[in-house]
Structure 1
Amino acid sequence: MTVEQVGSIDAIEPGTARVVEVSGQSIALCRVEDGDLYAIENRCTHDDGPLGEGELEGDRIECPRHGALFDVTNGRAVTLPAIGRVRCFAVSVDDGQVQIEVD
């Protein structure tokens, strides 16, 4: 298991997502409107679209390619054309620095 620091919590505004790289894995780091952070695999299960480049609304992120929605709290595909879930990663904040755990 690896824990990597990916930046300051102040660098990601509530209601936005950004792409980070952790141990060679592309991850969509999402900060929902209430400030909670979630990290999911940055790959739509429909056609590998970059989820971290999609729109985050509430706890759902939209794949920018074909509009599939994913729940960032659990990785579940919410709408077609995606049907499979994406991996989720543990996120923590230590002294204002965001950390993501991968295995």
Structure 2
Amino acid sequence: MTAQRACALSELEQDTALRVELDGVAIAVVLDGNGEVHAIGDTCTHGDISLAEGFVEDDTLECWAHGSAFSLRTGKPLNLPAYEPVPVFEVTIDGDDVLIDTNVKKEV
């Protein structure tokens, strides 16, 4: 499988997550305050909640329901109640296209 277009870079708002679905995998795509694009699994491992509806601060995405924050770089939860990480995917930018391969998890 090769990387697929998830969205346009111009669709992303800084410090906001966008939910996309590729090959049946829900992904939160985030443009952080430094202009870096991240792609992590969109489902909170604590409560089956969409992380894209949460809050972006620095390099974290916080679940709106129970407050677990996940690292955008590693997918690891930074506080309770979540204790399981979410997957992090490699992102490639090609012009205005944000490309993600759901079969390639980012090594951290």
In the superposition, the TM-score normalised over structure 1's length comes to 0.95
Partner in structure 2 of residue 43 of structure 1? 43
Structure 1 portions without partners, runs of 5+: none
User: How many residues end up aligned between the 2 structures?
Assistant: 103
> CA-to-partner distance for each residue in 1:49-85, whole Å, 9 max, x for gaps?
1111101011111101111110111101001000011
Alpha-carbon RMSD? 0.9
Partner in structure 2 of residue 90 of structure 1? 90
Within 5 Å, give how 1:61-80 maps onto structure 2.
61-80=61-80
Partner in structure 1 of residue 106 of structure 2? none
Within 5 Å, give how 1:12-27 maps onto structure 2.
12-27=12-27
Q: Secondary structure at the match of 2:47?
A: coil
1:7 paired with 2:39, answer: no
Percent identity, please. 36
> CA-to-partner distance for each residue in 1:20-63, whole Å, 9 max, x for gaps?
01111110001100110110001111111111110101111110
Structure 2 portions without partners, runs of 5+: 104-108
In the superposition, the TM-score normalised over structure 2's length comes to 0.91
Within 5 Å, give how 1:51-62 maps onto structure 2.
51-62=51-62
Q: Which amino acid aligns with 2:65?
A: R
